[in-house]
Every structure is written in C-alpha cells, then in structure tokens.
Amino acid sequence: MPGTLKEVRNRIQSVRNTQQITKAMKMVSAAKLRRAQDAIQHMRPYAQKQQEVLGNIVSNFNGDVSMSLAKSRPVEKVLLIVITSDRGLCGGYNSNLIKLARFEIQEKYNDQFKKGNITIMPLGKKGYEFFVKHNFNVIDTYWAIFSNLSFEYVSGISAFIRKGFSEGRFDKVDIIYSEFKNAAMQQFKVEPYLPVPKTENPKGYPKADFIFEPGEEELIEELMPKILNTQLYKAVLDANASEHGARMTAMDKATENADDLLHTLKISYNRARQAAITTELTEIVSGAAALQG
C-alpha cells in the first residue's frame, strides 16, 4: 500500500475514474441487453418448435425422398461454429466458450484433429483472434457477424455451411455458443447442426403421422433450409444476449470491487494523514521544548 499522502490521493482518484467507466459500461450493456433479450425471447419458441418439427420429420420419415442434410456418414471432417463476442470486458464469457471448443475437440474429435480435419468457423472477433493465433484451420469470412447482425446475413452463413456439407467438405457440423438464461446466467453448450439430428419418441408414444401437402420431397426441400437458417440465427441471438448479460454482470462486480478498494484506500489515507499530523505535532513540541531549555 502506498505510504505518502500524494500517492494515496492519486490512487483514490484513479479508482474513482475507473469506477465511472465501469458504471457507464454497465448502463450501456443493460440497455443493449434489453433489446437483445427481447429479440431472443421472441425468436426462441418459434425456433424450438421448428427444430422439433424437423427432427420429427427426419426421425419418422420412411419414404424414398433424398434428405442429404439429414444423412449421417462416417465423421472424417468436422466443422465447429464457435460464437464468441467482438469485445472483451465480459468476465469469463469468451474464455469459457474457447475452453469448451478445445475440450470438444480433445474429447470427441481428437482423431480428426490429429489428421488436420477440424475446421473452425469463428463468429465473433475474440474467437477468430484466438484460433488464428493457435494455427487452427479457420474460415475467416464471417467473424465480423455482429457488425451486421441480421437474419439475411445469418442465412447466407447457413447456406455456405449446407453447401459444404452437401459437397462432402464437412461430415459433421456443431455449434458452440452460450444460451441466454438471464443477465447473471449463461449456459455454454454444444449443439449438433448437421446432419439434422433426429428426435426420439418417448417410450409408449406412437410415431408422428404427417400428412404432406403439396408433396413430401418438395416440402422437405423447402422446409429444411429455412429451419436450419432459423436454428443458426437463434444461436447467434442467444450469444448476443449472453454477451451483454455477461458484460453487465462483470461491470457491476467491477464497480462493487472499486467501492471496496476506495474504502480501503480512504482508511490508508486517513492513517497516513494522522501519522503526518502526529509527526508535525511532535516536531513542534520538541522545538518548543528546545527553546525553553
């Protein structure tokens, strides 16, 4: 702890300036969170129901219609879509996502990684910077997604992924992102994207009986890409809301820590000032005593 009054005053002023910044960042994140939270809360029920319908169709379909996007094959080449943020100062948000991606590679796709068959599609600057720095195979086209966050832009990304899967450049595609729960809680998860996962019927429940109109092949070919677009867009909106929630929480905690530090510094300042006064009084008394002597 600094000993002189000037050093302590400088520290106090520095902490106050930092606290003003963290308060402002908390307010900005809170405003952005409200908009992001509204967006994901409106999208999530629609996206989940679409995904459920698609999974049921894939699981219960016994016809001859070709569903290339739902066809499983030996996993040789893997694409991981890792959704991080563009900026830091959001606690462990980005580091936890990157840690989950690396854990997934190590535990599930280690053989493919050793063969150089793992490709990363980072959505967000922080993930892009990390995976480029560590020499991963990176698709660097879409990392700036949050500067142009729209359903049309995400649909273009989804179309690129579907094309790569159909052409055999990827055998498995997973999304790694943070699902928004509330401002203080995010759930980091890995979600299968391609091939389209099947939905298992609970025991005792009959298979869903679908009546297709106009035709099975036409309907599936039209429906599947749209649902996949929505699924990816939902993940991006979840990540966007999670980022602002994590940053708001981190800035709130930083502001509280600044209060604690200011309290400690003020005590240190008062002690230093009292010591200085005591020293001055001692010198005055000693001088007066010397004059009298």
Segment 231-270, tens digit of pLDDT: 999 999 999 999 999 999 999 999 999 999 999 998 888 8
Sign, CA dihedral 168-151-140-122, equals negative
Residue 29 annotated as catalytic: no
Rounded average pLDDT over 90-110 = 95
Helix count and strand count (H, E) for the chain = 6, 5
Domains of the chain (ranges plus CATH)? 58-246 (3.40.1380.10)
Please write the tens of the pLDDT for every residue from 112-142.
999 999 999 999 999 999 999 999 999 999 9
- What does the alpha-carbon distance between residue 213 and residue 98 come to, in Å, rounded to a whole number? 44
What is the value of pTM for the model shown? 0.84
User: Residue 205: what pLDDT?
Assistant: 47
CB atoms within 10 A of CB 83: 24
Contact 122, 82 (CB under 8 A): yes
- The one catalytic residue among 90, 220, 248, 251: 90
Please write the tens of the pLDDT for every residue from 135-185.
999 999 999 999 989 999 999 999 999 999 999 999 999 999 999 988 888
Please write the tens of the pLDDT for every residue from 22-58.
999 999 999 999 999 999 988 888 888 887 777 777 6
